[in-house]
Amino acid sequence: MRKVELRMNELEKYEVIKELVDHNGNKNRASKKLSISRRQIDRLIIKYVEKGKAGFVHGNRTRKPINALDNSISEDIILLYKNKYQDWNFFHFKEFLKMNEDIDVSYGFIYKTLTTAGILSPKARKKTKREYIKQKLLHEKKINLTMSDEQIKTIVSHEVALEDSHPRGEKPKYFGEVIEQDGSIHMWFGGIKTCLHLAIDKATSTIVGAWFDKQETLNGYYHVLYQILINYGIPYKFFTDNRTVFNYMSLNPDKRTSEKDVLTQYGYACKQLGIDLQTSSVSQAKGLIERTNGTFQGRLVNELKLHGISTIDEANKYLLETFVPYFNQRFAMDYKKFPNAFETSPSEEKINYTLAVLTPRKIDNGNSIKYMGQFYLPYLNNEIKCFTPKTECLVIKAFDGELLVTIDEKVYNLKKLSRNEKYSKQFDIIKQNVEKKEIFNPKMNLHWNVGEFKYQIKRAHSEHQYA
């Protein structure tokens, strides 16, 4: 038989009624003791006789309140705070939940939901943080209430969470086992801010890729990856910053597929190459690349200024031909003495089509695809191919700028549709012996699939699984 658990007020009623029935007591006295009417006493006696102790359990004990919120709202709030509104104070977060996300809940509900999930407000007082740590240590049984207040205070003040402590760790054994990446926006040259995309091997401290761009862009990361693939091969893992994803995070799926969405596109390319991609928004977790950025800012800025470099092209040339080789010779260990985790470099053709920008599109009523403000028609072997309207496709902008499209797991070339014809058959003399550029049709060997790409986009934003 299941044990019946009564709350304090229910237990009091049960004991009084039990005593009344067992010893044929006075109902008026019981009524005054429980502060209820004689009629209620009679009803409780009937419950006791019919159900015993179980009759005193409140009828709504296991029922969900009619005004209770769905659990999915709590999950959405936690996900939004972690991904899109990280480090916002809770009042500010509440306002934008109502304004942008159409979630109207009380501050108390938000506070309880986030603190239960282990998220404290950035505006929390020291006293609140200490109490939170104390409750956490009590739950983990690292302290107990039999200790003196002085002992508990000492442990709580000295105990630091692992995510806040960043203890020193060992370096990887293999060259290419972990490559740390980051973008550093700084006044590098020419009096304007540009971004240096940098990649360094964690085992040997060797700079394996570097590239200047106007902002922290997919193009910059792709140039770094291109250098790694050409010069060394395919690494095992990238460890990079995910702040770009947080800044661009959008709950609208149609806005997640542009070139700004760096790590989603980059993660898909890494998946094609078999590279694991790990991200962190904590700068201390990737201390090597952060310290290297500081070293570059202290050295490279002065050297670029000394040589009078003021353009990105000149800066990239000096960076790759002069600065990085000297930096590796001066600061890095000889990677040839380390066991190698790099796999063999893929072909130039595969690199070109792997480091691509993929964008889902649909065929319109004119059998064309709109991309970057222009209209394109699908061709195969110089013959136009027609499809039904709203057919899903995947536009592929290769690393060298070539445009392709995949439809129903076949690859087609894209031909730009001009506003007017280039030549008129009636009025222009067309040259006969013009050499036509050979159009290359790549095979479907890189899993260019609309459904798979959309699935990868969804996982990258909701589950933070990039590769």
Q: Is the pLDDT of residue 251 over 70?
A: no
* pLDDT value for 122: 78
* pLDDT value for 319: 94
Q: Is the pLDDT of residue 115 over 60?
A: yes
Helix (H, G, I), strand (E, B) or coil at 210: strand
Residue 416 near residue 389 (C-beta atoms within 8 A):
no
* pLDDT value for 132: 77
Output the average pLDDT for the chain: 82
Pick the closest to residue 62 from 109, 5, 123, 134 (CA basis): 5
Q: Is the pLDDT of residue 315 over 80?
A: yes
Helix crossing, 71-83 with 90-100: angle to 10°? 110
Q: Is the pLDDT of residue 26 over 70?
A: yes
Q: What number of helices (H) and strands (E) belong to the chain?
A: 17, 12
Alpha helices in 146-274 (DSSP H): 149-158, 162-165, 218-231, 243-248, 262-273
- For tokens 């090597």, the residue is 288
* pLDDT value for 227: 95
* pLDDT value for 124: 79
DSSP letter, residue 240: E
DSSP string for 347-384: PHHHHHHHS-EEEEEE--TTS-EEETTEEEEEEETTEE
* pLDDT value for 446: 62
Q: Is the pLDDT of residue 245 over 50?
A: no
Give the β-pairing of 237-241 and 179-189: parallel
Kindly tell me the sign of the dihedral angle through the C-alpha atoms of 337, 343, 344, 348: negative
Strand partners, 213: 195
Q: Is the pLDDT of residue 240 over 70?
A: yes
Give the β-pairing of 237-241 and 276-280: parallel
* pLDDT value for 321: 94
Residue 302 to residue 316: CA distance in whole angstroms: 15
CB atoms within 10 A of CB 26: 11
* pLDDT value for 69: 59
Q: Is the pLDDT of residue 253 over 60?
A: no
Alpha helices in 277-435 (DSSP H): 287-306, 312-318, 324-331, 348-354
Q: Which two tokens stand for residue 111?
A: 């506070």
Helix, strand, coil percent content, the chain, rounded in steps of 5: 45, 15, 40
* pLDDT value for 247: 42
* pLDDT value for 437: 53
Task: Work out the pLDDT band at 65, boundaries 50, 70, 90.
Answer: low
Chain segment 172-215, per-residue pLDDT in tens: 999 999 999 999 999 999 888 999 999 999 999 999 999 999 98
Task: Work out the pLDDT band at 97, boundaries 50, 70, 90.
Answer: confident
- For tokens 């038989």, the residue is 1
